[in-house]
Structure 1
Amino acid sequence: MGYRFSDSHPMHPSRLDLTMRMIEGLGILERDNISLLAPQIATVEELATVHDRDYIAAVQYAGEHPGEVNEERGLGTEDDPVFSDIHAASARLAGGSLQAADAVLAGRALHVVNFAGGMHHASRGRASGFCIYNDAALAIQRLLDQGTRRVAYIDVDAHHGDGTQSIFWDDPRVLTISMHESGISLFPGTGFANETGGPQAAGSVVNVALPAGTTDAGWLRAFHAVVPQLVAAFEPEVIVSQHGCDGHRRDDLSNLRLSVDGQRQNALDIADLAQRHCEGRWIATGGGGYNLIEVVPRTWSHLVAIAGGQPVPLRTPVPGRWLDYVRDRYGVDGPTAMNDDVDLWWRSWEVGYDPADAIDRTIMATRKEVFPVFGLDPWFD
């Protein structure tokens, strides 16, 4: 809750408070197989495994001089304003994902969720897009440093996971897959199909840049036309995923038209990939998500329940005490059910490609770029 840029900033910590209250109201934490860990503040040494030391020092300095702007490091900007506790608060989010990696490495857990994490825009030396330290990248690097041979990173935030991509751009041990709204219409303006990795890691970067207005049907069609095939070919030992829920149709910071139902299905699909290819080893983070009442709490409560092995049924009523809290605290009525009651049918890729469909063209562009590297669709090569 200390990760607070300002009262008016879209990345407001109330979304975390509301999510935890809903998780508690649904009884998810009462399950015998779920443990709750308090995140520790990542040390400078730990942060330096993926971030430049000069950048870490710049973040620390910024917290002591919050009135200054450091454009080179992305600090003090409109997206990333400085606050006095910026280093410790950001390092705590990072520490949570490092603890997730440690738990998986030690075999204490198969699935770990840090829904306060997912700061995927932060690069080695620069803050960006509300993100200071890249906790997902830190978790991936911890896994690699402790002997994990291959990690698949799956990012389903509405915005391109540019920071994580850049950190592992030339590392063949990491497959980064980002599904997002096209950079033509959305920040950060990157993440196109022809971004495929460095010279030592060709094909290790995968981007599915979907057009504005994409709904659940197109999103799930694209996911199932690209992600399962590549994950199977890559054979990861752990999956790390980023579950930004800002692609929801009621989120003002993207132009996608997804539902809570579709985002829940995405989490189920990723959990299934971890079960099939990684013996269940899966670390999930949060990410973007700026509709604080209607979207974020429901989506991430579903994520935690899925990771716990007992998904919350779609038509489950929202806990009454949560609705009472929202009404008393915010003066509005919250959603009454854990779903948006939409039809999740999508057209399987196997039934055919429609060249007149913008989503199908996006899928084909991605497959042409990376599938031949893995021996898939070799006729493209």
Structure 2
Amino acid sequence: MALTSSATGPLWIDCSPAARYHFREDHPFHPIRLRLTEDLLRLGGALGDAQIAAPDPRGVEEALQRIHRSDYVRAVKELSAASPPAGVEEQAARFGLEPDGDTPYFPGMHDAAASIVAGSLAAAEAVMSGGTLHALHLGGGLHHAFPDRGAGFCVYNDAAAAISYMTDRYGAKVLYIDTDVHHGDGVQWSFYTDPDVFTFSIHETGKFLFPGTGFASERGESSGYGACLNVPVEPYTEDDSWLACFEAALERILCSFRPDVIVSQHGCDAHALDPLAHIHCSMRIYREMPKLIHRLAHEWTGGRWVALGGGGYEHWHVVPRAWGLLWLEMTDHPLLREIDASPQGAKLPADWPRIVAAERPDELPRTWLDDTAAWTPMPRRAEIEAKNRAVLEIALQHLG
């Protein structure tokens, strides 16, 4: 898996090919998120061409075969035609790709989804080969795809493909951390019996949110029992409770599992403004979670850390700042000191965003963090925090 880059520090895997992964203009999973994030970082002087690596698509077909069934990949390819063959469209529902569903098929779908897999494989190879300690592929993190079907806006499971690549080629023990507000089900079930892949997901409880799984009782099976941990939190969970659960679980996992590399998925839809969930966190968690992962990677995995994108459906107010904070942490950018010195963080570049779009809001955030002092306090805060602590205790029972 070759890379084209002159970078020596953390790598930004080029995610411009992911712009082709576009269901339709009004679909929540819109590639404008990627453009807005890159624009923010370039304007802030935090991303330059020398840090960007272009992945080689060779090896993607082999990676898909390790994760997805051949009949599913064949159906994806056939449904990717401008005019799919007769009879294939009738099978779209069977493969989770129906036109009126969450994950509708579209022209060029296979090539677009395969390019996302290529990017995550490139990040995995860059880290495991010793080319860099940290690599970020924001186009990736499509964690809901299953071996035989697409789901939750995800056609191919690039995260599972990258993990499988690292275990097969390098014999690595992999810790997968999923911070998306939706349970990382596709990755979990891909490695549910594998003792060398630990899957950890913190998310809104499946009692109220897609995909309806990710409960504390899901702990792995057979030889993989114990290598899975879920922390499903209550709706309207806020920063303090979310971060307390996240840190306690992650510290315990690392002491127990001792991985060789961390793969983290950074869906940023647990923010209070996200339209598809019910969690009430602020930008603070997107500053603190990467900081913790970064520290623990250097303590436990020699610094080896692959980060991927994921969900996040408040495209203008939330995603660019959250993903921007992730990259700033991965690169230990000096701007972090200024961000950490103020409750609202440093100011965003005055001319961001430079992107013109019909859906651009009239008002946009002007600081990296949120002014939560102006937010209305959540009712039942103590009850929600108590329920989250109780679930965390149950989730951790099987770890040493």
1:94, 1:323 → 2: CA distance?
A: 28
Q: Which of 63, 72, 76 is equivalent to 1:46?
A: 63
Summarize the Cα distance change of 1:233–1:319 in structure 2 as closer, same or farther, 3 Å threshold. same
Q: Which of 5, 25, 28 is equivalent to 1:7?
A: 25
1:18, 1:224 → 2: CA distance?
A: 29
The more displaced of 74-83 and 278-287 is 74-83
Summarize the Cα distance change of 1:231–1:7 in structure 2 as closer, same or farther, 3 Å threshold. same
Q: What residue in structure 2 maps to residue 26 of structure 1?
A: 44
Q: Does the alignment pair 1:35 with 2:58?
A: no
Q: Does the alignment pair 1:341 with 2:357?
A: no
Structure 2 unmatched ranges of 5 or more: 1-18, 340-344, 374-381
- Aligned AA for 1:11? F
The more displaced of 187-196 and 52-61 is 52-61
1:14, 1:356 → 2: CA distance?
A: 35
Q: What residue in structure 1 maps to residue 291 of structure 2?
A: 268
Q: CA RMSD in A?
A: 2.1
Q: Does the alignment pair 1:308 with 2:331?
A: yes
Q: What residue in structure 1 maps to residue 79 of structure 2?
A: 62
Q: Which of 236, 247, 265 is equivalent to 2:270?
A: 247
1:140, 1:16 → 2: CA distance?
A: 23
Structure 1 unmatched ranges of 5 or more: 344-352, 377-381
1:206, 1:231 → 2: CA distance?
A: 12
- Aligned AA for 1:318? L
Q: CA deviation at 1:69?
A: 5.2
1:96, 1:296 → 2: CA distance?
A: 19
The more displaced of 226-235 and 109-118 is 226-235
- Aligned AA for 1:359? N
Give the ranges of 4+ consecutive aligned residues of structure 1 lying more than 6 Å apart after TM superposition: 353-356
SS in 2 for 1:208: strand
Q: What CA deviation, in whole Å up to 9, does each residue of 1:140-166 have, x standing for no partner? A: 111111223310000010000000001
The more displaced of 301-310 and 35-44 is 35-44
Q: What residue in structure 1 maps to residue 15 of structure 2?
A: none
Q: What residue in structure 2 maps to residue 100 of structure 1?
A: 123
- Aligned AA for 1:62? L
Q: CA deviation at 1:39?
A: 3.5
Summarize the Cα distance change of 1:89–1:359 in structure 2 as closer, same or farther, 3 Å threshold. same
Q: How does 1:151-166 map to 2 (within 5 A)?
A: 151-166=174-189
Q: What CA deviation, in whole Å up to 9, does each residue of 1:89-144 have, x standing for no partner? A: 00111110000111112111100001111000011111000001111111111111
Q: Does the alignment pair 1:366 with 2:383?
A: no
Q: Which of 225, 236, 239 is equivalent to 2:259?
A: 236
Judge conservation of contact 1:196–1:206 (CA < 8 Å) in 2: yes
Q: What CA deviation, in whole Å up to 9, does each residue of 1:204-242 have, x standing for no partner? A: 111101011111111011012211111122110000000
Q: What CA deviation, in whole Å up to 9, does each residue of 1:20-65 have, x standing for no partner? A: 111111111249xx62012444632221121111111111011124
- Aligned AA for 1:5? F
Judge conservation of contact 1:158–1:180 (CA < 8 Å) in 2: yes
2:207, 2:71 → 1: CA distance?
A: 32
Q: What CA deviation, in whole Å up to 9, does each residue of 1:252-300 have, x standing for no partner? A: 1110011112122111111111111001000000100000000000000
- Aligned AA for 2:214? G
Q: Does the alignment pair 1:72 with 2:73?
A: no
Q: What residue in structure 2 maps to residue 139 of structure 1?
A: 162
1:327, 1:94 → 2: CA distance?
A: 28
Q: What residue in structure 1 maps to residue 9 of structure 2?
A: none
- Aligned AA for 1:232? C
% of aligned pairs identical? 38
2:280, 2:55 → 1: CA distance?
A: 33
Q: What residue in structure 2 maps to residue 294 of structure 1?
A: 317
- Aligned AA for 1:72? R
The more displaced of 258-267 and 173-182 is 258-267
Summarize the Cα distance change of 1:311–1:340 in structure 2 as closer, same or farther, 3 Å threshold. farther
Q: Which of 194, 205, 225 is equivalent to 1:182?
A: 205
Q: CA deviation at 1:309?
A: 2.2
Q: What residue in structure 2 maps to residue 127 of structure 1?
A: 150
TM-score by length of 2: 0.86
Summarize the Cα distance change of 1:16–1:49 in structure 2 as closer, same or farther, 3 Å threshold. same
